[in-house]
């Protein structure tokens, strides 16, 4: 399930955060790559413990914490502190699968990576190439979103970033452990939650019983599948 999370940040917020990111120190992106992905990874990153990375990362987590679509789609339990990368001058990242377990260098905390997140800080017209291509059950999906928007996709997916041939693609990337391990189960709960919200917004009184039934199904499935 690929879900676009729109407007994590407003255009004005993006401008301020992007200025901070551009002014930060950037290093070789291989510092956070696993053995296999390091062979195909060619980009720059802000060091994990850099003050700007911590500050902007905290802003991201605060915004997502109140974003109803993100919470419904991800059902987050643990979120890895956001990292930041930049592609320019032909840089790319070949096809790979994200590591199953991520360990935070500073805290030593570990998470199982159920979902991967890419939050864009560059608009599509700022650069050529740089598409995030995710392979799912229904084929390859190419993703290139406006600055401030984010894509959420299963960490089990093969994916790559095409070469950036003009300009720079700046984004945040991170992972989360969901209360629901299986993507198919999260998808079912997400559909149920959407149905509940749609029916609940209908002012007709005869939908009330349906709202109660759908809510009951949602919470009973969540009760069976949640891992805390």
Residue pLDDT, tens place only, 115-147 = 999 999 999 999 999 999 999 877 899 999 999
Select from 7, 38, 47, 53 the least CA-distant residue to 146: 7
The two domains 3-178 and 183-225 share their CATH topology (first three levels equal): no
Determine the CATH number of domain 3-178: 2.60.120.620
Mean pLDDT of the chain: 92
Report the DSSP beta bridge partners of residue 112. Answer: 101
Band of pLDDT at residue 207, cut at 50, 70 and 90: confident
Least confident of 35-39, 99-103, 187-191: 35-39
What is the pLDDT at residue 202? 73
pLDDT higher than threshold 70 for residue 38: no
State how far the Cα of 127 lies from the Cα of 92, in Å rounded to an integer: 13
Domain ranges of the chain: 3-178, 183-225
Band of pLDDT at residue 105, cut at 50, 70 and 90: confident
pLDDT higher than threshold 90 for residue 210: no
| Cβ count near 103 (within 10 Å) | 11
**What residues contact residue 90 under an 8 Å CB cut-off, 6+ apart?**
163, 164, 165
Q: Please state the pTM of the whole predicted model.
A: 0.90
Determine the CATH number of domain 183-225: 4.10.860
What is the pLDDT at residue 47? 93
pLDDT higher than threshold 80 for residue 172: yes
pLDDT higher than threshold 90 for residue 34: no
pLDDT higher than threshold 80 for residue 45: yes
pLDDT higher than threshold 70 for residue 32: no
């Amino acid at each position: 399930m690929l879900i676009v999370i729109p407007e994590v940040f407003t255009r004005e917020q993006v401008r301020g955060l992007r200025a901070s990111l551009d002014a930060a120190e950037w290093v070789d992106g291989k510092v956070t790559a696993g053995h296999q992905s390091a062979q195909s990874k060619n980009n720059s990153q802000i060091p994990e413990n850099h003050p700007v990375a911590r500050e902007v990362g905290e802003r991201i987590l605060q915004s997502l914490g109140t974003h109803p679509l993100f919470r419904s789609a991800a059902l987050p339990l643990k979120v890895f502190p956001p990292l930041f990368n930049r592609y320019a001058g032909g840089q790319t990242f070949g096809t790979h699968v994200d590591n199953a377990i991520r360990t935070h260098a500073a805290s030593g905390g570990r998470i199982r990576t159920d979902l991967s997140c890419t939050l864009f800080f560059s608009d599509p017209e700022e650069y050529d190439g740089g598409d995030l291509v995710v392979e799912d059950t229904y084929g390859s999906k190419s993703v290139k979103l406006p600055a401030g928007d984010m894509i959420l996709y299963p960490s089990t997916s093969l994916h790559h970033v095409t070469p950036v041939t003009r300009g720079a693609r700046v984004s945040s990337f991170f992972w989360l452990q969901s209360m629901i391990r299986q993507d198919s189960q999260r998808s079912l709960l997400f559909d149920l939650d959407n149905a509940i919200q749609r029916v609940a917004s209908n002012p007709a009184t005869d939908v009330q019983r349906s709202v109660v039934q759908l809510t009951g199904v949602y919470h009973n499935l969540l009760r069976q599948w949640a891992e805390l």
